[in-house]
Structure 1
């Protein structure tokens, strides 16, 4: 994909978001399993297909491996999800990266273009449980090598899950939920290594607490907040070719508005290879299936 086409695609997405915001009807953004509304995650992929559009900003100091090594990583990612049926959907994702060099100028450019497919295999609403099968495809050579985009592509079969604790008799712990994913990334060619990828998120939903457990007469702003902590990791699955284990912890909060969510998390590297200091990530998320349910928010094959 050329730089011109990428820029045009990003512009169209941005204009589309502005139009949606000005024509939105009241609604709340979520992934649902019974009474459980799972907020959008920032580090981890969303656990189900959906009709969604979101921006994610990521900034993390890095550990340079000598002069000229990378000193920071700043990413801006645009993601579009579209349902084909109620249970099947596709994802399109593109990232612009700015990599700082110790003692030198920054290098920047597009990362490899990625697509994904997700299918909800299990939706157990009484037990607030969802299990999704998926696959992600990274197209090698579509990004800028100067921005560390790999010339080799990769395919990642994986699964996703979400489980709310609301069906358990545990009082004030009922608003808790966990979500996560696990996959194996197969590289197209060497020396890019195969990788095990995954993560886990723990959430405590204040909206669930207020509506399903006890009303605490909290301020309106607090009633829309979900504290969340994510953990993401990648580790070589076979010969490493110099790759090392990376892991991030990300505590933060998500705020659900009318058809949108905004969230901010701190980034805490768990290994030296991941980074050398604290970073931050933020996300603005639109749920098109609630903002425009009769048009772009509908599955392409409605009723299937």
Structure 2
């Protein structure tokens, strides 16, 4: 049997919800407008309350290859005053390397370029050029036997991105000086940082009559997906910042909304709970006249076939 499905984040009966704290395995025409987060954490020998607004855009070049770009804006509240500025900007490519619809598995790889000094020194996002190879994966458990049917609604996704500085330029930032009440400029070399994380997701589709153990009868959208994300940032020679992020996503055909609580797992991860929220637009379904097919081919991403 052959079934046709939409392109975004789907492998078999499994829809992998777009994660909020790291990239998901989908390769599709998407826009994130925006991701908003707020968290208090230690930095520069002090503490800062940071609000971050980020946006991202992915455009398919072929059914399995997308151009990506992301950036944002930060506002920081320090004990001696406030600072605001642009986040760093990254551009890159993302490629769907492997999918197995029968076993609800999806793997993508990416390579991004962090544009040197595109961010603001005021908020510590000024940095040298960086290269960022990454792997993104998802695996659903809908293929498990009847004896383990209670696990079928669950899935895991994950990402590993190695951000490595390129060249000899140094990063610029400002550090609060509590004795003078001013921000002192400082310079530091770029540091290689491993960004990694994983999520555990629960598909409510598996609790309905829409799933009967066989191939999907329709696109598995319009569902709630409770999830927990675990995010880690590990700078070379420094302490890993770790957070657990319980929340939910609601996935419709043309959009997804999600929200989660940021719970620090160690001191580097934050001083207390924060929050994160996201609006994700599936552009191929939202504006098919513009995004109905990739830029470099006439083959539409909706034409992917699943053979059962």
User: Is 2:270 the counterpart of 1:275?
Assistant: yes
3-state SS of paired residue (1:122): strand
Mapped contact 1:70–1:99 kept (Cα < 8 A): no
Q: How many residues align?
A: 263
Alignment counterpart, residue 59 of structure 1, candidates 20, 26, 38: 38
Give the equivalent residue in structure 2 for 1:228.
227
Give the equivalent residue in structure 2 for 1:143.
119
Q: Distance in 2 between matches of 1:302 and 1:196?
A: 34
Q: Distance in 1 between matches of 2:248 and 2:131?
A: 31
3-state SS of paired residue (1:106): strand
User: Is 2:9 the counterpart of 1:31?
Assistant: yes
Deviation at 1:212, TM superposition (A): 1.6
User: Is 2:61 the counterpart of 1:81?
Assistant: no
User: Is 2:165 the counterpart of 1:187?
Assistant: yes
1:113-128 equivalence runs, <5 A = 113-128=89-104
Mapped contact 1:28–1:260 kept (Cα < 8 A): no
Q: Distance in 2 between matches of 1:46 and 1:132?
A: 9
Q: Distance in 2 between matches of 1:29 and 1:70?
A: 43
Q: Distance in 1 between matches of 2:25 and 2:54?
A: 18
Q: Distance in 2 between matches of 1:297 and 1:51?
A: 9
Compared CA separation, residues 72 and 297, structure 1 to 2 (3 A):
farther
Mapped contact 1:29–1:261 kept (Cα < 8 A): no
Give the equivalent residue in structure 1 for 2:149.
171
Structure 1: state its 5+ residue gaps: 1-26, 215-222
Higher strand share: 2
Q: Distance in 1 between matches of 2:50 and 2:131?
A: 24
3-state SS of paired residue (1:84): strand
Give the equivalent residue in structure 2 for 1:45.
23
Give the equivalent residue in structure 2 for 1:204.
202
Alignment counterpart, residue 247 of structure 1, candidates 234, 242, 264: 242
Compared CA separation, residues 248 and 225, structure 1 to 2 (3 A):
same
Deviation at 1:294, TM superposition (A): 3.5
Structure 2: state its 5+ residue gaps: 171-188, 214-221, 300-308
Deviation above 3 Å: which 4+ runs of structure 1? 27-30
Q: Distance in 1 between matches of 2:7 and 2:54?
A: 19
TM-score normalised to structure 1 length = 0.81
Q: Distance in 2 between matches of 1:294 and 1:174?
A: 36
Bigger mean CA deviation after superposition, 202-211 or 85-94: 202-211
Q: Distance in 2 between matches of 1:244 and 1:232?
A: 14
Deviation at 1:47, TM superposition (A): 1.4
User: Is 2:76 the counterpart of 1:99?
Assistant: yes
Q: Distance in 1 between matches of 2:253 and 2:109?
A: 29
Higher helix share: 1
3-state SS of paired residue (2:42): coil
Q: Distance in 1 between matches of 2:128 and 2:159?
A: 23
Q: Distance in 2 between matches of 1:28 and 1:121?
A: 17
